[in-house]
Amino acid sequence: MRTRFFAIPYRPLLAVAWLFWVAWPGAALSDLQSRLIAQVNVHRLAQGLGPLARHPALTAAALAHAADMAETHNLSHRGCDGSELGDRLHRAGYGFRRAAENVAAGPETPEQAVDLWMASEGHRRNMLIADLTEAGAAVARHGAMPNPPYWVLVLGRR
């Protein structure tokens, strides 16, 4: 029987911690998150856009969705409970005026995930929306290889 991560707010953080350490022993999740946002900011700055600041509620929403996708092996913007990005942001306590989300499965590093998104018109557009100012990022893998890591980047503006 599969665990429903969304019954208790922030419960996914515990699940992601377990998923993460199985996949990347010795690595720091916060380091991977920071590297991913920093890589996005490199592309934003090259386009004359302001950098994204890391926001804990966006990170929580990204972690919940990454854990959900890793557990269900389902790359989607819709959660296993039917949730969309707006639902997950509200659960995380982030009141937003605008938001966007990128998801990916397969890349092994934050840099590879951002490169993949930059090669996709829609994902690239999300990362380069000028009026988005904050971001949260996450990665999760259910078990060990060959299960792919699932990456989530959530961007927003309050």
Q: What pLDDT does residue 27 have?
A: 58
Q: What pLDDT does residue 142 have?
A: 86
Q: 40: burial class by Cβ within 10 Å (0-12, 13-18, 19+)?
A: buried
Q: Identify the weakest region by mean pLDDT among 5-9, 13-17, 69-73.
A: 5-9
Q: What is the pLDDT of residues 67-114, one digit of tens each?
A: 999 999 999 999 999 999 999 999 999 999 999 999 999 999 999 999
Neighbours of 43 (CB within 10 A): 16
| pLDDT higher than threshold 60 for residue 12 | no
